[in-house]
């Protein structure tokens, strides 16, 4: 029992340590611990019950043996007393070989448990006490008070006077003894004395201990066998739960649509079936949400939600906004081509025109804010150089795509892209039933205005000086010419404008690169209001590149201004916005 308690305590301590350190709390361990505790308690109760049952049976057997032996001895003693003269009596003590022990034959004695017993004959004395007449102990011919306790003396007296047999348990310095007192009555009714038969009680404890030892050995083997059997059964029966746990962990990690095998018709099978149904329902629900989100993101890009600090479209509210430094890209076609597109073609052809620019902008980490007829506006938060690369790539569409655009009524030469950089505010406008994201910024308005002027100056990509400064080693990587200045009424400043011709046709690129030094010289003279000298320079530019629309525009202004008397009040800005 103590070993079992120690074993269980060690097991619980080990489990507690593992639980605290590794958070291991599997149902297998808990069920096993509960079983071991229950089995230990049941074993302890069973052992106690068996011990009590064995003790009662052995005591019953010992009492029966003591009764049989006592009756046999009393019969033989009385016979001896009846056949001999009282004064010549030699004693009636039987020799061991003359006694029949519980009716067991001599040849069977060797195979039985030893039964240690003694008996004494107490004869009544004239003084009212008892004297030991014969005894198997060392006490002989002595009064009962010398060898008997007060309780035993009282039992002797009661048995003598009442003529009844009395049993009692006696415990003294010599150990435990079960005693039986039998009155000795002669045939003529004379009371001779009392016969005392005693069985050693320590032998009973020894027999019980021996039975317990064997019982505990069997119990330990059974305990171990049941533990191993239960462990195997738990592993076998709980294997589906382990698979269910692993699948649930994968499901929580984002692997949707996972299922577990369903076997049998027990509770675990029902749980597995319910889990499969839940998993498929979650996968379908997530797919619906994803499709819905993708649909929302077609109208409000995910990047805008990210900038607004929102995780989903449902969190967007009117008035949400953010402000940051961004590069704005604005694209449009020429006015004539746009009118031709709207009048003679369908939305399908319009979408064909916008498909490639949108793809390119997205690939360069840009976000399309909104569409405007056959044009669009986008912004870049990561890099101004990515915006310029996207613009150049859009202008360098493959020849096959150019044919599609031309067939749609929109010529390649009619598309202009403008790039600006500065502080932009993105927010949500509208009302509770209809909202959309919009950008509000002077730089967004400037980009939209510049894109409409690109065809006037023969520029396919226009960018401001702010964008120019954001791109490292711009002169070594890209090809551009200083186109002039524009006047910004919002802050009463002049902004330098550049014509990037990396996306122009090969012939136009060659001519602009050839005349760039001369053209920029003419622009510098024009800005310095040296209109006549600038006129001579632009004439030389046009001699080399007749299709230079910007040189023609400058030549027209030079002719207009160099004869003016009020030169000081002449503005040199190309445009005012």
Q: What is the pLDDT of residues 65-87, one digit of tens each?
A: 778 877 888 888 888 777 764 44
- Tokens at residue 216, please? 């505990």
Q: Is the pLDDT of residue 30 over 50?
A: yes
Query: What's the rounded Cα separation, in Å, for the pair 460 and 480?
Result: 11
Mean pLDDT of 321-343: 71
If one compares 512 and 307, the residue with the highest pLDDT of the two is: 512
Query: What's the rounded Cα separation, in Å, for the pair 122 and 133?
Result: 6
Region at 199 (left for phi over 0; alpha for psi -120 to 50; beta for the rest): beta
Q: Is the pLDDT of residue 113 over 60?
A: no
Region at 422 (left for phi over 0; alpha for psi -120 to 50; beta for the rest): left
pLDDT per residue as tens digits for the range 289-302? 777 666 665 666 77
Query: What's the rounded Cα separation, in Å, for the pair 573 and 484?
Result: 7
Query: What's the rounded Cα separation, in Å, for the pair 315 and 318?
Result: 10
Query: What's the rounded Cα separation, in Å, for the pair 333 and 326?
Result: 23
Which residues have a Cβ under 8 Å from the Cβ of 170 and sit 6 or more positions away? Answer: 149, 151, 152, 176, 177, 178, 179, 198
Query: What's the rounded Cα separation, in Å, for the pair 202 and 113?
Result: 13
With 0.75 as the threshold, say if the pTM is over it: no
Query: What's the rounded Cα separation, in Å, for the pair 24 and 38?
Result: 22
Task: Provide the 10 A C-beta neighbour count for residue 284.
Answer: 12
If one compares 212 and 262, the residue with the highest pLDDT of the two is: 262
Task: Provide the 10 A C-beta neighbour count for residue 52.
Answer: 11
The β-bridge relationship of strands 130-135 and 166-172 is unpaired
- Tokens at residue 534, please? 């600038």
Q: Is the pLDDT of residue 4 over 90?
A: no
pLDDT per residue as tens digits for the range 354-373? 888 889 999 999 998 888 76
- Tokens at residue 127, please? 């003084």
Query: Residue holding tokens 């190309």?
Result: 574
**Using the 8-state DSSP alphabet, how is residue 59 labeled?**
H
pLDDT of residue 148: 79
Mean pLDDT of 422-439: 81
Query: What's the rounded Cα separation, in Å, for the pair 478 and 498?
Result: 11
pLDDT per residue as tens digits for the range 127-143? 778 888 777 776 677 78
pLDDT of residue 103: 37
The winner for highest mean pLDDT among 174-178, 189-193, 260-264, 483-487 is 483-487
Query: Please, what's the b/e burial string for 342-360 (b: 16 or more CB within 10 A of its CB; e: otherwise)?
Result: eeebeeebbebbbebbbeb
Q: Is the pLDDT of residue 160 over 90?
A: no
Q: How confident is the model at residue 204 (pLDDT cuts 50, 70, 90)?
A: low
Q: Are 234 and 31 a contacting pair, CB within 8 Å?
A: yes
Query: Please, what's the b/e burial string for 478-491 (b: 16 or more CB within 10 A of its CB; e: otherwise)?
Result: bbbbbbbbbebeee
In whole numbers, what is the pLDDT of the chain averaged over residues? 77
pLDDT of residue 406: 44
Positive or negative, the CA dihedral 240, 245, 250, 254 is positive
Mean pLDDT of 512-540: 94
pLDDT of residue 247: 84
Task: Provide the 10 A C-beta neighbour count for residue 105.
Answer: 8
pLDDT of residue 1: 57
Query: What's the rounded Cα separation, in Å, for the pair 404 and 26?
Result: 66
Q: Is the pLDDT of residue 525 over 90?
A: yes
Question: Dmax over Cα atoms in the chain, in whole Å?
Answer: 185
- Taking each helix axis as running N to C, give the angle between helix 549-561 and helix 506-527, from 0 to 180 degrees, rounded to the nearest 10: 20
**CATH class entry, domain 300-439:** alpha beta
Q: How confident is the model at residue 346 (pLDDT cuts 50, 70, 90)?
A: low
CATH 3.30.450.20 domain span(s) along the chain: 114-200
Q: Are 428 and 319 a contacting pair, CB within 8 Å?
A: yes
Q: Is the pLDDT of residue 284 over 80?
A: yes
pLDDT per residue as tens digits for the range 372-426? 767 889 999 989 999 999 999 999 876 444 444 444 433 344 678 999 999 999 8
Mean pLDDT of 33-54: 74
pLDDT per residue as tens digits for the range 533-566? 999 999 999 999 999 999 999 999 999 888 776 7
pLDDT of residue 161: 83
Query: What's the rounded Cα separation, in Å, for the pair 272 and 136?
Result: 80
pLDDT per residue as tens digits for the range 176-198? 777 888 888 887 777 888 888 88
- Our measurement of the distance from residue 560's CA atom to the centroid of its chain's CA atoms, rounded to an integer in Å, reads 79
Mean pLDDT of 322-343: 70
**What are the CA-CA distances from residue 224 to residues 26, 40, 562 (Å)?**
21, 11, 114
Q: Mean pLDDT lowest for which of 99-108, 165-174, 186-195?
A: 99-108
What dihedral angle (degrees, nearest 10) is formed by the CA atoms of 74, 78, 79, 80? 110
CATH of domain 114-200: 3.30.450.20
Mean pLDDT of 488-511: 92
pLDDT of residue 514: 95
Nearest CA-CA partner of 500 in 384, 400, 359, 406:
384
pLDDT of residue 19: 63
Q: Is the pLDDT of residue 339 over 70?
A: no
pLDDT of residue 345: 53
Is 270 strand, coil or helix? helix
If one compares 75 and 486, the residue with the highest pLDDT of the two is: 486
- Tokens at residue 345, please? 């073609």
- Tokens at residue 545, please? 């590149």
Which residues have a Cβ under 8 Å from the Cβ of 266 and sit 6 or more positions away? Answer: none
Q: Is the pLDDT of residue 341 over 60?
A: no
If one compares 307 and 514, the residue with the highest pLDDT of the two is: 514
Q: To which H or E segment does residue 427 belong?
A: strand 416-430
């Amino acid at each position: 029992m103590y070993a079992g308690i120690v074993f269980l305590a060690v097991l619980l301590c080990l489990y507690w340590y593992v639980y605290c350190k590794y958070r291991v709390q599997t149902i297998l361990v808990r069920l096993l611990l509960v079983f071991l505790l229950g089995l230990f308690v049941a074993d302890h109760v069973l052992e106690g019950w068996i011990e009590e049952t064995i003790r009662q049976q052995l005591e019953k057997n010992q009492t029966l043996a003591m009764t049989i032996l006592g009756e046999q001895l009393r019969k033989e003693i009385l016979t001896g007393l009846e056949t001999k003269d009282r004064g010549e009596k030699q004693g009636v003590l039987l020799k061991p070989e003359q006694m029949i022990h519980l009716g067991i034959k001599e040849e069977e004695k060797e195979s039985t448990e030893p039964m240690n017993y003694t008996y004494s004959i107490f004869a009544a004395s004239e003084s009212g006490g008892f004297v030991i007449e014969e005894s198997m102990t060392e006490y002989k011919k002595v009064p009962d008070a010398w060898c008997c306790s007060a309780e035993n003396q009282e039992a002797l007296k009661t048995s003598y006077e009442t003529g009844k047999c009395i049993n009692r348990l006696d415990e003294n310095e010599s150990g435990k003894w079960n005693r039986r007192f039998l009155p000795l009555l002669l045939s003529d009714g004379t009371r001779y004395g009392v016969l005392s038969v005693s069985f050693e009680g320590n032998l009973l404890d020894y027999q019980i201990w021996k039975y317990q030892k064997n019982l505990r050995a069997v119990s330990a083997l059974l305990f171990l066998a049941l533990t191993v059997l239960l462990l195997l059964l738990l592993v076998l029966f709980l294997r589906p739960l382990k698979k269910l746990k692993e699948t649930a962990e994968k499901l929580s990690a984002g692997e949707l649509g996972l299922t577990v095998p369903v076997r049998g018709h027990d509770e675990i099978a029902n749980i597995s079936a319910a889990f499969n149904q839940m998993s498929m329902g979650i996968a379908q629900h997530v797919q619906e949400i994803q499709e819905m989100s993708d649909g929302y993101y077609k109208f409000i890009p995910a990047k805008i939600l990210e900038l607004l600090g929102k995780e989903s479209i449902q969190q967007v509210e009117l008035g949400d906004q953010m402000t940051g430094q961004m590069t704005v890209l604005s694209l449009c076609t020429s006015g004539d081509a746009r009118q031709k597109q709207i009048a003679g073609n369908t939305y399908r052809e319009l979408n064909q025109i916008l498909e490639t620019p949108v793809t390119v902008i997205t690939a360069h980490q840009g976000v399309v804010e909104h569409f405007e007829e056959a044009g669009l506006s986008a912004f870049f938060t990561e890099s101004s150089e990515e915006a310029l690369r996207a613009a150049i790539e859009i202008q360098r569409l493959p020849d096959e795509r150019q044919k599609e655009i031309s067939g749609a009524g929109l010529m390649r030469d009619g598309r202009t892209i403008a790039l600006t950089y500065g502080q932009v505010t993105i927010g949500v406008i509208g009302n509770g039933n209809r909202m959309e994201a919009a950008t509000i910024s002077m730089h967004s308005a400037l980009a939209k205005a510049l894109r409409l002027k690109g065809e006037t100056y023969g520029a396919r990509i226009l960018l401001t000086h702010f964008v120019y400064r954001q791109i490292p080693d711009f002169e070594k990587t890209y090809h551009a010419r200083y186109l002039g200045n524009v006047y910004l009424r919002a802050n009463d400043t002049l902004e330098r404008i550049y014509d990037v011709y990396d996306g122009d046709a090969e012939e136009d690129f060659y001519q602009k690169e050839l005349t760039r030094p001369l053209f920029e010289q003419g622009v510098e003279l024009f800005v310095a209001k040296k209109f006549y000298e600038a006129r001579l320079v632009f004439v030389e530019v046009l001699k080399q590149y007749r299709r230079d629309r910007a040189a023609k525009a400058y030549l027209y202004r030079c002719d207009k201004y160099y004869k003016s008397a009020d030169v000081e009040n002449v503005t040199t800005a190309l445009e005012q916005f």
